Amino acid sequence: MAGLGPLEGLARRPQRLILLAALVLLLLSLTTWLSVDPTGVETVRQQWGSIPRPWQRPGASAAGEYAGGSGVPSVDSAVKDMYTHTPGIPQTPEELKQWATKGDDGNLYPPSFIPSQANQAPRAKAGFIVLVRNGELASMRESMRDVEDRFNRKYGYPWIFLNNEEFTDDFKKGVKQMTRSEVRFGFVEKKHWGYPEWIDRNKAADTRKQMKEKKIIYGDSESYRHMCRFQSGFFFQHPLTMDLDYYWRVEPGIKLYCDVDYDPFVFMQMNNKTYGFTMALHEYIETIPTLWSTTKKFVEENPQYVAKNNGIHFMTDEPERFMDPGYNLCHFWSNFEIGDLRFWRGEAYQKYFEFLDKSGGFFYERWGDAPVHSIAAILFLDKARLHHFDDIG
């Protein structure tokens, strides 16, 4: 056999010749297809990339795979994989290199990522609830800037904007620019923003006149009263809030000076907290002359709703006499609240609000949502379920 050339070998075994011809033909048709079909090369590259490589960490792939020609790294899949495939989280810049993207300039770009995506900690069912007017867009954007920079850019909770008028396109666009999170816009229906049929409007108008003469803050404002009634009794019933358990109330023009580096919603859930506040103030007595006595009447008729270990010492100066000494006017400032919506939706508060609403004090006086929320939280909750967020502000 020695001395036979390769051709002689092929001639003696024709099946080898057929195999070689088939291979050449296959190669020819493949190259022709690649040169004709513009997406051909990309398809082959993708298929090649998707072949499993068990010797690599799951999710890992070669540098540059995410380069889509634009030079901008594709954030979604890369970063998600990077952070969800523990222990594959890169520990050194060298390891991070495999997630880098090759830019048009030929340099490797480290992955850019959305903070909330990188932070894969579990979330609560929560969001920001904001009642706001179209005209407050500028100060709303300032509030959002603070809340996003200090907290939400890392957590990505949704924003729910509510209004008794339709939001304008300018408003929608303006607030959407301030967050990467989901943004919802809701309309407040007339039955939650208007006079109930049992209210005597002339009597309500008389009150506003008298309060104006006495120069009581917002005393002559009709819309302020609708706002307070809505915030007291209805914001937690809006359809856009129904998938949430917890809310953070934000208003236009608020400031947050300190970073919030943990999730206060998850804090509430973990510790079974129901109502969180930052500040307590005194209410103007002229705005709520009969709120305490009306509440007392409700409590006498419904003692079952009062919590055993309630926080009454916060609201009267002689807590051993329960509600008898009268209200010391202390209340939690409601421009900031982090709370459990299920408490407001629950039986005790619903019954309490109905009772207050029927008595007419939202219109015949000027009951604010802050004292109403505060009194309810103090009476119907175990005091361990309240939390002072002294680290938010």
Ligand X SMILES: Nc1nc2c(ncn2[C@@H]2O[C@H](COP(=O)(O)OP(=O)(O)O)[C@@H](O)[C@H]2O)c(=O)[nH]1
Taking every pair of C-alpha atoms in the chain, what is the biggest distance, in angstroms? 123
* Shortest Å distance, C-beta 334 to ligand X: 8
Number of residues that bind ligand X (CB under 6 A): 11
User: Does residue 227 touch ligand X according to CB under 6 A?
Assistant: yes
Q: Give the residue, chosen from 192, 251, 281, 387, that forms a contact with Mg ion under the rule CB under 5 A.
A: 251
* Shortest Å distance, C-beta 238 to ligand X: 12
Q: Which stretch binds Mg ion (CB under 5 A): 171-179, 248-256, 339-347, 351-359?
A: 248-256
* Shortest Å distance, C-beta 166 to ligand X: 11
Q: How many Cβ atoms from other residues are within 10 Å of residue 306's Cβ?
A: 16
Q: Which of 94, 337, 347, 354 is catalytic?
A: 337
User: Does residue 278 touch ligand X according to CB under 6 A?
Assistant: no
Identity at 318, one-letter amino acid code: E
Q: Give the residue, chosen from 124, 129, 136, 171, that forms a contact with ligand X under the rule CB under 6 A.
A: 136
Site for ligand X in 331-370 (CB under 6 A): 335
Rounded to whole angstroms, what are the CA distances from 98 to 77, 80, 115?
14, 14, 20
* Shortest Å distance, C-beta 351 to Mg ion: 28
Residue 223, binding choice from Mg ion, ligand X, none, Cβ under 5 to 8 Å by partner class: ligand X
Residue 369, binding choice from ligand X, Mg ion, none, Cβ under 5 to 8 Å by partner class: none
User: Does residue 252 touch ligand X according to CB under 6 A?
Assistant: yes
Which CB sits closer to ligand X, 41 or 285? 285
User: Does residue 283 touch ligand X according to CB under 6 A?
Assistant: no
166 is catalytic: no
Q: Give the residue, chosen from 131, 144, 147, 312, that forms a contact with ligand X under the rule CB under 6 A.
A: 131
User: Looking up tokens 């010492």, which residue turns up?
Assistant: 313
- In terms of DSSP H, where are the helices of the chain? 6-12, 14-36, 40-49, 75-84, 93-96, 115-118, 137-150, 169-176, 201-213, 222-233, 264-270, 291-301, 341-345, 347-359, 361-364, 369-380
DSSP 16-31: HHHHHHHHHHHHHHHH
User: Does residue 168 touch ligand X according to CB under 6 A?
Assistant: no
Number of residues that bind Mg ion (CB under 5 A): 2
User: Does residue 221 touch Mg ion according to CB under 5 A?
Assistant: no
Q: Which two tokens stand for residue 143?
A: 């509030």
* Shortest Å distance, C-beta 67 to ligand X: 46
Q: Which two tokens stand for residue 233?
A: 């009794």
- List of residues 6+ apart from 316 with CB closer than 8 A: 322, 323, 324, 325, 326, 327, 328
- List of residues 6+ apart from 320 with CB closer than 8 A: none
Residue 107, binding choice from ligand X, Mg ion, none, Cβ under 5 to 8 Å by partner class: none
SS3 359: helix
Residues 160 and 240 sit within 8 Å (Cβ to Cβ): yes
User: Does residue 163 touch ligand X according to CB under 6 A?
Assistant: yes
Which CB sits closer to Mg ion, 117 or 335? 335
Closest to 387 in 3D by CA, of 338, 341, 342, 344:
338
User: Does residue 134 touch Mg ion according to CB under 5 A?
Assistant: no
Q: How many Cβ atoms from other residues are within 10 Å of residue 390's Cβ?
A: 9
User: Does residue 132 touch ligand X according to CB under 6 A?
Assistant: yes
What is the C-alpha radius of gyration for the chain, rounded to an integer number of angstroms? 33
* Shortest Å distance, C-beta 136 to ligand X: 5
How far apart (Å, rounded) are the C-alpha atoms in residues 133 and 186? 12
- In terms of DSSP H, where are the helices of 97-136? 115-118
User: Does residue 46 touch ligand X according to CB under 6 A?
Assistant: no
* Shortest Å distance, C-beta 333 to Mg ion: 9
Residue 163, binding choice from Mg ion, ligand X, none, Cβ under 5 to 8 Å by partner class: ligand X
User: Does residue 328 touch Mg ion according to CB under 5 A?
Assistant: no
Provide the terminal-to-terminal Cα distance of the chain, rounded to the nearest Å: 92
Footprint on this chain of ligand X (rule: CB under 6 A): 131-133, 136, 163-164, 223, 227, 251-252, 335
Footprint on this chain of Mg ion (rule: CB under 5 A): 251, 335
State the catalytic residues: 337
